[in-house]
């Protein structure tokens, strides 16, 4: 049974994150964005609140909240700025939640615990300069030599790359399968900052999310102990896709918060700005844009909530999460564009936040599976070309043991 009512705990998490973002980030975010500056102290504050392990079981250093709470936190964070939600997507969604499902007990103790406590920051290295949507086209290799693997390759468009301590990396362990594009030749590894041959960099010149860190990293003969392999050899592609089920969920919930931010800003401006002797809110074409934002917000929220409910039950939710991601990101793109339109010339300047919302919304329509990938997936499910099988592992169902 789906219950639409938030629990006391959900409301508490929502309020805590809302207050944090309003007090600790909102007053400075325009400046950080203008200066293209990632403020590391925000990570420490998020760690203090337990956000960096919000839905990780307490026995692994997390806060033990459910996946609805994760979604609520993402909504509230992106209401203020997308860069905050990206931290949740990459550190919590793609990295911690993937490890919570796929890592061994020993690996969880060693890597997940400090990540969930926020003592270490994680990132997810799948994308490469020539491989984005086509994930099996990655070129990175991991060659087994005795008790370790030697990794080589380049990763690009990696959020948090230049601030992360822990890197969840995907590379080919079977070079014959790589040639045949057989995903069962790919494996996943944990790398750590400081390993010889691992170097990171920040990418400059981005359209949006300028208060966030987006980077790249290179692996030049990085020796990685065999015990750092996550899952079995050959399970890397599945682990990457599983990670994206979690990352896409956080993107969907965050984009929902961005729609709400556009709606709130647009309502306030439309009610106070006068033209032709009345508030522009009274014009039907403005009302239409407001109405679309309302519909975008409500549908996006219902979709990510359903995905969260499935996650709580430990039920596979690849289809539902991908749908939520597509719908919410599209809604946020339209809402941001309309919010600028409602603000007129003021919307075109950084005097109002909608200019930042407009630049920030675009990345989510591209990353963690572009709009086109999400649409193809939905069509393939509907046509019977794609089906979700039961997986060897699932997220820890909530309540946690």
Active centre residues (catalytic): 368
**Region from 126-134, 252-260, 261-269, 295-303 binding ligand CAA, contact rule CB under 6 A:** 126-134
Please state whether 393 falls in left (phi above 0), alpha (psi between -120 and 50) or beta: beta
CB of 24 to ligand CAA, least distance (A): 24
Cβ-based nearer residue to ligand CAA, 326 or 367: 367
Interaction of residue 83 with ligand CAA, rule CB under 6 A: no
Q: Is 155 helix (H, G, I), strand (E, B) or coil?
A: strand
Rg, the chain, Cα only? 21
Interaction of residue 368 with ligand CAA, rule CB under 6 A: yes
Interaction of residue 172 with ligand CAA, rule CB under 6 A: no
Cβ atoms 113, 104 nearer than 8 A: no
Site string for ligand CAA, 202-241 (x = CB under 6 A): -----------------------------------xx--x
In angstroms, the first-to-last Cα distance of the chain is 21
Q: Where do runs of H (alpha helix) occur along 182-314?
A: 236-272, 284-313
CB of 193 to ligand CAA, least distance (A): 16
The CA-based diameter of the chain, rounded to the nearest angstrom, is 79
- Non-local (6+) Cβ contacts of 35 within 8 A are none
Interaction of residue 373 with ligand CAA, rule CB under 6 A: yes
Among 62, 208, 347, 369, binds ligand CAA (CB under 6 A): 369
Interaction of residue 128 with ligand CAA, rule CB under 6 A: no
Among 152, 234, 391, 400, binds ligand CAA (CB under 6 A): 391
Residue 199, beta-bridge partner list: 218
Nearest-angstrom CA–CA distance, 144 and 248 = 32
CB of 233 to ligand CAA, least distance (A): 14
Paired sense of beta strands 278-279 and 141-145, if any? unpaired
Nearest-angstrom CA–CA distance, 277 and 282 = 10
Binding site for ligand CAA (CB under 6 A): 90, 94, 124, 126-127, 132-133, 135, 157-159, 183, 237-238, 241-242, 244-245, 318, 367-369, 373, 377, 389, 391
């Amino acid at each position: 049974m789906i219950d639409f009512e938030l629990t006391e705990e959900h409301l508490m998490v929502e309020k805590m994150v809302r207050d944090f973002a309003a007090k600790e980030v909102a007053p400075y975010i325009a400046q950080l964005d203008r200066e293209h500056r990632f403020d590391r102290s925000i990570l420490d504050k998020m760690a203090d609140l337990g956000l960096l392990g919000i839905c990780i079981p307490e026995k692994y250093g997390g806060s033990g909240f459910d996946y609805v709470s994760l979604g609520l936190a993402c909504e509230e964070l992106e209401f203020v700025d997308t860069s905050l939600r990206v931290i949740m997507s990459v550190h919590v969604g793609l990295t911690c939640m993937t490890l919570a499902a796929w890592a061994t007990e020993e690996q969880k103790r060693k890597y997940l615990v400090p990540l969930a406590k926020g003592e270490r920051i994680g990132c997810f290295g799948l994308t490469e300069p020539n491989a984005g949507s086509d994930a099996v086209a990655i070129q990175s290799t991991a060659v087994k030599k005795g008790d370790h693997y030697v990794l080589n390759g380049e990763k690009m468009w990696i959020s948090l790359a230049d601030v992360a301590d822990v890197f969840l990396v995907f590379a080919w362990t079977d070079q014959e399968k790589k040639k045949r594009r057989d995903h069962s030749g790919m494996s996943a590894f944990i790398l750590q900052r400081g390993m010889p041959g691992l170097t990171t960099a920040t990418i400059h010149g981005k359209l949006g999310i300028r208060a966030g860190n987006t980077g790249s990293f290179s692996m030049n003969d990085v020796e990685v102990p065999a015990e750092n392999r996550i899952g079995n050899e050959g399970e890397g592609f599945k682990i990457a896709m599983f990670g994206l089920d979690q990352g896409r969920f956080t993107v969907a919930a965050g984009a929902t918060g961005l729609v709400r931010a556009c709606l709130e800003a647009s309502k306030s401006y439309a009610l106070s700005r006068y033209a032709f002797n009345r508030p522009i809110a009274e014009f039907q074409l403005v009302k239409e844009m407001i109405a679309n934002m309302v519909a975008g917000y409500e549908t996006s929220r219902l979709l990510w909530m359903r995905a969260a409910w499935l996650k709580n039950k430990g039920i596979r939710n690849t289809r539902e999460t991908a749908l939520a991601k597509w719908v919410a990101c599209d809604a946020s793109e339209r809402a941001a564009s309309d919010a600028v339109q409602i603000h007129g010339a003021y919307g075109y300047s950084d005097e109002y936040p909608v200019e930042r919302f407009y630049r920030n919304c675009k990345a989510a329509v591209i990353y963690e599976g572009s709009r086109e990938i999400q649409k193809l997936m939905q069509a393939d499910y509907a046509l019977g070309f794609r089906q979700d099988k039961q997986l060897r592992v699932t997220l820890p169902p909530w309540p946690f043991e």
